Structure 1
């Protein structure tokens, strides 16, 4: 949409599935570099505008709007982002993998965004476009290789030059491109200078410590229940059963005959559990590979590609878990169960995604998914994921079932999601920043640790509340355990709404619909993910405590 210099006759590089789904379109550049050949103020193209012409005025208005919204250039050379490094508070230097189109001085003379970097930008109610860049490319000489050197960094400084009669009004010859040898930076660590400039590490450690405190608190509560209260209860119940004058049973043992009764809406719960298992395994494996470095930012789109491929291939455990629990609930409509597992949750996500894509098509956005890619996604879903789900369901139904399968429901569910959300909300801020504010996310080690903490917290919080409900002689634990930890997604949604109004400067109905449309997809996936964790934890807890009690 922008009237910038274009590369004529150059073929667009191809993107992988993850890049296409994230709307990352790489266009060829008109800039041409020759290794070790320095350039001085070489023009790329010239643009002229006549404000009396409607089409030119429209282009300029669009350019002004983009500067007000702080739109950014994102350039790549040798798969490295071209960064703009500048000083920030506390003497630190921040390297941004992008640079702004321009900036604006308000009517009261206040510089906005990038205009603060230059004192020459002082005219009130004025737009300044960056029409020149100084580029410096750093390389590391490599011995015994034909290429002789590898690029390890690329930095630029955006400038505004005013030309009159083909001469710059700025003093001094402007520099365009230069090369510099950097012996201290190895090719394997060439991303470090970008990642280390992001001052988030201390916040991440604070997040981890905050989460660990919550986990220790919950672990202590669960340990107290399992080792003291529950142990005493079991000993007392068994002692009463062995005496001739056994008193009337009370507490959670009263519901031992009802604990494995089928829940209401068992079909829907089993479908949610199947889809949640699929997402749980997908998330674990993806984060594991990311921690090993296979899905680093250097591999563009690899994270999303890995997640989609894993989700497609994990149809078998989804079908197995759904069929297994549906059979334990006494269900007989196995065809309906496997069809719902294959199509209900994925269908909701795809329908939401398709509607968002229609809006992007209507807006003419490059983030819109091409029709061919949508067909490819449907082919992966119908031709691979669905058959694998049927295979898993076959083994789930074939296997024999050995068992048929704060005390008020709503307050307990609401409280159950608070502690897991408290473990992730700081990490969630950086994830939302990477999605909506185009910041680079690379801290997969922190993310994997938070993932483990989230699993433990959801499990322990659900077990804790499940025990309280059983002591209140309420045996409806299946749906409640799923919703207790799944309610974390509601706090996720509330935080996303807060993030939208407090952190983003989104204007326009289409952009607002896109934000909340994609947010609803993430909330649904997170709901299934956390709900499944809580159900499995509670299922294990209930099975264990009722297997050690002597039942007459």
Structure 2
């Protein structure tokens, strides 16, 4: 009766899991991929959940006349890594401090930010823009200010570097609207231009103009529960001269073409003549001294509300990804390329395992065992005869005893089988290898968690700063795994100072990373950029590292060293190390691991094109095709395992037992090619100017490649370690119960 009731229960559980899998598969959402099979309830529920967890934002419904806060953030550019808070600009309207729409906060009030927002340079504050749902405003004056020569020059430089402004309404960044080439779809680019540049037809010189009028378009849709929800936030900037305005400060006709507000103050000719006296020519733009001359900059704005019936609130971020849809075919080609390379390597590994390893085992099967027993019995018989005749001395007895030992391996003739007594010899600098492997496991856990959460939609662009914040939390929590693997591997190596190993694991990689970020921060601080991490945040990161992560690493290391048993090796290690014969050139120099790193890089480099474009070149966009990235990353890990196994087997066949570090370097060697790709990308694709921006690019690229190399190196080492243990346990089954060392 109980069995009959248990079987249907199991069937129901399997049916529920199958239904959940099918529902999740059909509702799997890759932002930027608009061809969704169905708008299932699971899809809408998951997207609503993603919105609810994003920075505390949920679906906000507005009634007609209800105020809508507009937040200002920062300016950024594709040509530099330096960002600036919007209200730090001396040529924009400063906050008045007045509250609008019944808000308890006045303009200029800082919004509390999470760790990720602070690290990415966000500085979000309330503003003086007054928006009310459904109320169009033809023109409203914001302020009018006088700007000096130094500020005009800085504004001209920012416009030259193509800086864009980021505002936020209902957690949507203000966007510049574009249409596709066939004019069938519209898509957004986050941010809008600070100004623009053109060429003077009279002189042929570049002229710079500042955008001082903003046409704000709020696109809304009616909510089934009542009210209206915002599904789009567009900003159309315009430059309008300070002349020909009405008393309120607005242009007479804001929609007509106007002469732009040029960023130019006539030079002080008397001062220039005095400075360059005796010269027939002097530069007219060399006029940085504050002589009291100013440029009047009036700021105005218009507001329009337009109903949008084609976009749902749950899909409003799709407009920011539509332009990425054109690269979907390239993503699929990258996956096919990755699978092809991985399959070829997998076949190679299969041949190595089946023909070589199993072939050796099969060739040395029962017949070899029986032959070995006969030889041992024959030696013992001869030994007994000699003993009975009194003809065997003590040395012969010892030799015969050694030859008849149960731990005696099979007689090998060549190749990797000759290394049975040295293959598990403790590597040099094992006290450094264990912490590196532990840190690699920590990074592997963090990267896996980020990819999974991103694919589920929990980490999305509406969760501003969530990727960095959650990644930092996962990294700190994964200190337990770092300490465990480092401590257990250290114990396997026979180490005794496990507390020292714990400190190295907890301080080495995080300490070097923190030091690098601190040094870079000094350069950014000198530029007064919002990219600089505030001092209070640095103290918080230091406390997070020393007060939380270090104890977690200690706990994990204690479990790995004191509670867990070391990994057992199937063979004892000889007292005297075997002499290694002359090695091929690729095992004598670093060229071997570097060449093997080309294979994982070939799997990854197509996806790197998209990743680099969104990180460095198109900062106004969002990289959010994590579904493709997850598949490529999984294939990459498999490829690293296959390459490392093949390289390790080749090294053992050359009778070289120094495979420990070699496997780690082989697994992480593709990081070298990724960094070389960074140099190529900077040289030929980017237009970054300035020493500090270049320093930031190469420093953060180096740090990212170090993280990648540490992660893949750990995967390669663990794969080679597992392979070697399994191979020698299969070939030497009589020695499986031997203690390590």
TM-score by length of 2: 0.68
CA distance in 2: counterparts of 1:153 and 1:231, whole angstroms: 63
- Kindly report which structure 2 residues correspond to 1:312-391, keeping only aligned pairs within 5 A, or say none: 312-391=476-555
- Are residues 1:74 and 2:166 paired? yes
Query: Structure 1's 248 and 143: CA in aligned 2 closer, same or farther, altered over 3 A?
Result: closer
Question: Which of the residues 96, 99, 110 maps onto 1:8?
Answer: 96
Matched with 1:534 is 716
Aligned to 1:105: 198
Query: Residue 605 of structure 2 aligns with which residue?
Result: 425
**Separation in 1 of the partners of 2:256 and 2:481?**
65
Aligned to 1:287: 451
CA distance in 1 between counterparts of 2:475 and 2:130 reads 41
Q: Give the corresponding residue for 1:119.
A: none
Are the aligned partners of 1:162 and 1:170 in contact in 2 as well (CA < 8 Å)? no
Who is 1:232 aligned against? 359
**CA distance in structure 1 between the aligned counterparts of 2:370 and 2:646, rounded to whole angstroms:** 29
Mapped partners of 2:180, 2:212: distance in 1: 24
Residue pair 2:244, 2:252 contacting (<8 A) in 1 also: no
CA–CA separation in structure 2 for the residues paired with 1:70 and 1:389: 45
Verify: 1:210 aligned to 2:337, yes or no. yes
Q: Is the 8 A contact 1:73 1:98 kept in 2?
A: yes
Matched, 1:156 2:235: yes
Q: The residue matched to 2:155 in structure 1 has which SS?
A: helix
**Counterpart for residue 118 of structure 2:** 20
Distance 1:63 1:528, change over 3 A: same
1:53 equivalent in structure 2 = none
CA distance in 1, matches of 2:601, 2:632: 11
CA distance in 2, matches of 1:396, 1:452: 27
Asked if residue 488 in structure 1 is aligned to residue 670 in structure 2, the reply is yes
1:46 corresponds to: 144
Tell me which residue corresponds to 1:187.
313
Indicate how the Cα distance of structure 1 residues 200 and 107 shifts in structure 2: closer, same or farther if over 3 A, else same: farther
- CA deviations on 1:402-445 (whole Å, 9 max, x unpaired) are 33895545232112211111222232233333333313111111
CA shift, 1:124, in A, is: 5.0
With over 3 angstroms needed to count, the CA separation of the structure-2 counterparts of 1:101 and 1:207, relative to structure 1, is same
Q: Between Structure 1 and Structure 2, how many residues are aligned?
A: 532
CA distance in 2, matches of 1:255, 1:196: 58
Taking the aligned partners of 2:554 and 2:499, their CA distance within structure 1 comes to 9
Please state how far the C-alpha of 1:129 moved relative to its aligned partner: 2.6
Q: Which of 327, 346, 350 is matched with 1:223 structurally?
A: 350
The CA deviation at 1:237 is 4.1
Q: How does 1:114-133 map to 2 (within 5 A)?
A: 125-133=206-214
- Cα shift at 1:389: 0.7
Equivalent residue, structure 2, for 1:144 = 225
Distance in 2, Cα, partners of 1:230 & 1:409: 28
Structure 1 residue 378: Cα displacement: 1.2
Residue 161 of structure 1: how far off its partner (Å)? 2.5
- Which residue does 2:31 correspond to in 1? none
Task: Please state how far the C-alpha of 1:292 moved relative to its aligned partner.
Answer: 0.5
Query: What whole-Å deviation, never above 9, does each CA across 1:304-349 have from its counterpart, x for those lacking one?
Result: 1111011111111111111111111122221211110010111000
Task: Give distance in 2, aligned partners of 1:210 and 1:12.
Answer: 48
Q: How far apart are the structure 1 equivalents of 2:211 and 2:336?
A: 43
Show the counterpart of 1:434.
614
Q: CA RMSD in A?
A: 2.4
Inter-partner Cα distance in structure 2 for 1:361 and 1:31: 30
- The 1:270/1:171 distance shift into structure 2, 3 A limit, reads closer
Shift of 1:169: 8.0
Q: Cα distance, 1:107 vs. partner?
A: 7.2
Higher mean displacement: 349-358 or 239-248? 239-248
Aligned counterpart, 2:558: 394
1:132-161 CA-partner distances (Å, limit 9, x unpaired): 23222111111334xx11101112222233
- Is the 8 Å Cα contact of residues 644 and 666 (structure 2) preserved in structure 1? yes
1:459 Cα deviation after fit:
0.7
What is the Cα deviation at residue 359 of structure 1? 1.3
Give the 3-state SS of the residue equivalent to 1:46 in structure 2: strand
Q: Match for residue 115 of structure 1?
A: none
> So what's the TM-score if we normalise by structure 1?
0.91
Q: Secondary structure at the match of 1:41?
A: strand
| Maintained 8 Å contact 2:196/2:210 | yes
- Post-superposition Cα deviations, 1:32-64, rounded to whole Å, max 9, x if no partner, equal 211000011222222444xxxxxx222122112
| CA shift for structure 1 position 6 | 2.8
2:354 aligned counterpart, secondary structure: helix
Unpaired runs of 5+ residues, structure 2, are: 1-87, 98-106, 258-300, 376-409, 574-585, 735-741
Q: Could you say which structure has the larger radius of gyration? A: 2
Distance (Å, rounded) in 2 between the aligned partners of 1:182 and 1:123:
44
Residues 186 and 319 in structure 2, CA contact (< 8 A), matched pair in contact too: no
Q: Distance in 1 between matches of 2:125 and 2:677?
A: 35
Q: 2:731 is matched with which residue?
A: 549
Instruction: From the superposition, tell whether residues 5 and 258 of structure 1 become closer, same or farther in structure 2 (CA, over 3 Å).
Output: same
Does the CA contact (< 8 Å) of 1:139 and 1:182 recur in 2?
A: yes
Q: 1:452 to 1:4 in 2, by over 3 A?
A: same
* Aligned-partner Cα distance in 2 for 1:215–1:36: 56
Q: Which ranges of structure 1 fall in alignment gaps of 5 or more residues?
A: 50-55, 110-121
Structure-2 separation of matches of 1:156 and 1:375: 38
Distance in 2 between residues matched to 1:488 and 1:106, nearest whole Å: 46
CA apart distance, 1:285: 1.0
